[in-house]
Amino acid sequence: MQLESDLAEIVEGTTRLLVPKGALVEKVPPMEPAFFNPRAKINRDFSIIAYAAFLKTFKGPKVFLDSLAGIGARSVRVANELNSVEKVFINDVNPKALEIAENIAKLNNVTNCVFSENEACRFLSLHSKRDQRGAIVDIDPFGSPSKYIDCGIRAAFHGGLLSVTATDLTVLHGLFPAACKRKYYGVPVRVEYGDEIALRLILGCINIVAGRLDVKIVPLFVQNNMHYYKAYVKVLVKTSDKDEMGYILHCKNCGNRHVTSEVKYECEVCNLKAELAGPLWIGNLYNKDFVNEMIIEEKQFQVDKSCKKILERCIDETDMPPTYFTIDELAHMKHSAPISLAKTIEKIQGAGFRASATSLNPAAFKTDARVDEVLSII
């Protein structure tokens, strides 16, 4: 049995957690006796809000499948804080982590948890039969989630939610393009808006796997925080009638960025050769109705105060074009001091273009104006 002296009690939301003491004091959370990252709290906060919003309209059995649960911080919070959830399956390959998870469940007096010690794909495969699937399937690995996506889709009900985390930033940000192509089927470009390219590569990977299985995905919400990227997609057992895969062309000479469905390298502003990121998802990152439901649900939970502000920014940028500009990036191009974000957006809107802040970077904005038009305006 896990020694109490090895663990400390903390609270997330309204859930009491028992976590390895080393995770609270060491810069890099230790792997023994089990991994827990306290800095991922906001990631788990958003999960609770997103799951609550999703379950309001889901018609089937409200079952949550956590394939890589660790000590069960996310899954026990789901069992404890979401009253509509009927059953929570908590799976991990580490028996020490599962022992802690069971103690956390007892500490919170939750009785609707089922624990299993299994490899993630094996666990998800056991839940791939029609009557054993999950309303929500979560995949939260170390590094890339790509090897679990196939199994995760199969374990989700028609109309169910698949939530996928990626933490391999060096791959998604372009330090290892060959590895990115192998894992996500596309390559990034190293740019200021690398967070968005990373999320679009993750969604593109999920979409490609779904297409192979004759399944359609609908992105509902994405979120990034430090070294975490998380995508929430609805899984529909039907084929897609719209191709939302493409490329982002980026010119490092003039800063132009352009979304295209075709492979091309010529910059439309300066006519020099540009770089190409993709193939990746070029459709919407957010579903406006879903994010509105998240804003409503956020009031019901004890979550980080930044969640509401981020969700409101998501609403503003829902229909904006892909990619964003940072105010520091523009200042560097102009060789001048940066203008405030609010003033920049005001100027661009005043010139007749659309512009909004973005949830992906607190010092950035999205617009339908080209880089030369933006620079001229500011």
Q: Supply the pLDDT for residue 1.
A: 44
For the cut 90, the answer to whether the pLDDT of residue 5 exceeds it is no
Q: Supply the pLDDT for residue 102.
A: 98
Distance of alpha carbon 84 from alpha carbon 200, whole angstroms: 31
Q: Supply the pLDDT for residue 28.
A: 85
pTM of this prediction? Answer: 0.96
pLDDT digits (tens, 9 = 90+) for 207-249: 999 999 999 999 999 999 888 999 999 999 998 888 999 999 9
Tokens of 316: 């503003």
pLDDT band of residue 17 (cuts 50, 70, 90) is very high
pLDDT band of residue 2 (cuts 50, 70, 90) is very low
User: Beta strands 156-166 and 134-139: pairing type?
Assistant: parallel
pLDDT band of residue 305 (cuts 50, 70, 90) is very high
CA torsion angle for 362, 368, 373, 378 (degrees, to 10)?
-30
The H or E element that residue 97 is part of is helix 95-107
pLDDT digits (tens, 9 = 90+) for 252-267: 999 999 999 999 999 9
Q: Supply the pLDDT for residue 257.
A: 96
For the cut 80, the answer to whether the pLDDT of residue 14 exceeds it is yes
SS3 328: helix
Q: Supply the pLDDT for residue 10.
A: 97
Contacts of 193 (CB under 8 A, 6+ apart): 257, 323, 324, 325, 326, 360, 361, 364
pLDDT digits (tens, 9 = 90+) for 88-118: 999 999 999 999 999 999 999 999 999 999 9
Question: What mean pLDDT value characterizes the chain?
Answer: 96
Average pLDDT of the residues in 300-315: 97
Contacts of 64 (CB under 8 A, 6+ apart): 51, 75, 78, 79, 85, 87, 88, 89, 134, 135, 136, 138
Give the number of other Cβ atoms within 10 Å of residue 126's Cβ. 16
For the cut 80, the answer to whether the pLDDT of residue 369 exceeds it is yes
pLDDT band of residue 3 (cuts 50, 70, 90) is low
Domains of the chain: 4-239 (3.40.50.150)
Q: Supply the pLDDT for residue 240.
A: 81
Q: Supply the pLDDT for residue 6.
A: 87
Average pLDDT of the residues in 131-149: 97
pLDDT digits (tens, 9 = 90+) for 345-355: 999 999 999 99
